[in-house]
Structure 1
Amino acid sequence: MGYACPVCETPQADAHHLANHLAFTALLGDDDHEAWLDEHTPGWDEAGEDELAERVVEAAKEVEFPQVFEDTTDDDHHDHDEPRPGELFDDEPPMAGSRGPGGGDLDAETAEALRKARELTRDDDESE
């Protein structure tokens, strides 16, 4: 079982995925997701992932969420612990003149959204 996003009904695997979906979508400029968070979870943009997950799941509808396990796919040649080039939140600054993760000039609003996203997704062990 998972949870449907209360705004767009996109299924999410668990409360943490739902919290991240809502926050990222809001931070990236979706007014509907941001308005929902503002109404149902005031202060959401200052909450950590665990706190936000606890708060958003209270208003979410449980839905079937198909689980795909590595042993049921043909792709057994990857390692989740190995960093991949171009991951969404590389710590490297963007390269001028290119677009996408690891590249592109960011306006102040986008840079702030990425900073907040990094804070929300930072592993508690990293911040100590």
Structure 2
Amino acid sequence: MGYLCPVCAAPFGGGEPLADHLAVSAILHGGDHEAWLDDTVDDWGSISRADLGERVVDHAEETDDHEHIGEHSHRDPEPASGLPNGIDAPEDAAVDGDAALDGDAQAVLREARELTQEMQGDERSESDDERKES
């Protein structure tokens, strides 16, 4: 089941992707997405992605359609990029060279990429440890 963004009506394939959209839009652009989050989920900046997803779906219209970012199918357990929710961001994407983004936006994207890589490393280490224990 999908949800429409309560601000811009963009379709998303679940609560967490919708939460990601709202939070990233609010952080990078402010405006209506930030105002909506401030009015609806006052502690949105300090709660987990899962908690934010659970709270925003209560205010979102359900839809059978959702955004298909990048190339993926619903049978794949994880997008080829290894990023969550079908986010397609190739490792060699030139974040710093993107003239459409200001310095703050570029810094946010760099930090997000680093955190994602750290999380992927943690997940790989845990699965390696589980295999060793078997």
TM-score tier, shorter chain, comes to 0.5 to 0.7
Q: Is the 8 A contact 2:7 2:33 kept in 1?
A: yes
Among residues 70, 73, 84, which one is paired with 1:70 in the alignment? 73
TM-score (norm 1): 0.62
- Aligned residue for 2:42, secondary structure, equals coil
Number of the residue aligned with 2:90: 84
Number of the residue aligned with 2:38: 38
Higher helix share: 2
Over the matched positions of the two proteins, sequence identity in percent amounts to 34
Letter in 1 for 2:26: A
How far has the Cα of 1:113 moved from its partner? 4.0
Structure 2 residue ranges without an equivalent (≥5)? 84-88, 124-134
Q: Is the 8 A contact 1:3 1:13 kept in 2?
A: yes
Instruction: Please report the RMSD computed on the Cα atoms of aligned residues, expressed in angstroms.
Output: 4.2
Q: Is the 8 A contact 2:11 2:66 kept in 1?
A: no
How far has the Cα of 1:58 moved from its partner? 1.1
- Give the length in aligned residue pairs: 112
How far has the Cα of 1:46 moved from its partner? 1.5
- Aligned residue for 2:80, secondary structure, equals coil
Structure 2: distance between partners of 1:57 and 1:16: 9
Number of the residue aligned with 1:75: none
Structure 1 residue ranges without an equivalent (≥5)? 73-77
